Amino acid sequence: MPALIVAATHIAATVAAGAHGRRQAGPGDSFWQFRPAQPGEPVTRIDWRQSARSSRAYVRETEAEAAQTICLWCDPSASMRWRSNAALPPKLDRAALLALAAGALLLRQGERVRLLTPDGPVDIPPGGRTALDRLGLALLRTLENAPESPCWPHPQQVPRHARIVLIGDGLALPETIGTLLRDLAARPARAHLLLVNDPAEAALPYAGRIRFAGLEDEAPLLLSGTEGLRPAYAAAFADHQARIAALCRATGHDLIRHTTDRRPEHALLALHAALSDRPGGRA
C-alpha cells in the first residue's frame, strides 16, 4: 500500500488541480456573469469596461466555489483480480490505483471524500498526506475482505446532489448497472462510471483449444477453434459496451473507458474533466 500511495500521488500531481465551480454566483475567482447594477449597488462592484458598452451599469459576478462530496467505489469482486499476461497489472490493481489517485487529487482540492464499502460509507477527514493514508488503509481493508461476487454500492450511501465515481470492469448484466444508475439519478446524484478492462477482454486474442475458468463460481468452459469465435465475441462485447453507454446517456451520467495497457494518467485526466464539467470527460 505505501508504494501504491506514492504512485497515486505522482499520478495525481500530473493532473491540473482546480476548484469545482458551484454554477452560481458567489465567492470565487472564475467569471460567472454580468448583471445589471441595482439601486444602491456599491460603485466598487461596477465593471466599468462592460458598462461603457451600454447605457446601463453592470456588475461582474464570479462563480461560487465550495467543497462538494465525492464518493469513491472500487469493484472488489473476483473478476477484477484477472489479467491476460504478466506484463499487465490486474484490473483490481489498476482500479485501486485510480481510486487512490482520484482521492489524492480531490483531497488536494479540498473536496469531501467518502469511500463506499460493503460495511457502509467511510468519510475521509481532510488533512494532507494523512488523509490519503486513511483512504488507502480503508480501501485496502475493503479489497481484502470483499466477497467473491460483485457487491454494488447502495444509493442511500450517496448524499443528495453528490458525485460518485464507480470504478469497475462493467462485466455485469446491463440491467443491473441500469438499475443502479437510475436509482442514483433519482436521488439525485451524478455518477462517473470508469470501466477498467484488460485488453484481452475486448479482443479475445486466443486460438486453438482453450479452457476458460470462471472466477465467480461460473462453470469452466472448454472451447475448440477459439479464433473462429473472435468476430462474434467482439460484436457481443461491443454491444455490451454500447448498452452501458446508452444507459449512462439516458440517466445523465458519465462513462469513461480505460484498458490496463494504457497509462493511468489518461483515465484520471478524463475523470477530472468530467468532475469539473469540462469537455473530454465523457465517452
Give the model's pLDDT for residue 188. 94
pLDDT above 90 (res 9): no
> What are the tens digits of pLDDT across the range 61-75?
764 444 688 999 999
Question: Can you read off the three cell numbers belonging to residue 22?
Answer: 458551484
At residue 170 the predicted structure's pLDDT band, cuts being 50, 70 and 90, is very high
Q: Within 10 A of 148 (CB to CB), how many other CB atoms are there?
A: 13
What percentage of the chain reaches a pLDDT higher than 70? Answer: 87
CA distance 96 to 39: 55
Give the predicted TM-score (pTM) of the model: 0.79
Residue ranges and CATH numbers for the domains of the chain are: 32-64 (no CATH), 66-276 (3.40.50)
CA distance 215 to 92: 13
Q: What is the mean pLDDT of residues 241-267?
A: 96
What percentage of the chain reaches a pLDDT higher than 90? Answer: 57
**Buried residues in 73-111 as b, exposed as e (16+ CB within 10 A):** bbbbbbbbebbeeeebbebbbbbbbbbbbbbbbbbbbeb
Cis peptide, bond prior to residue 188, ω within 30 of zero = yes
Give the model's pLDDT for residue 210. 95
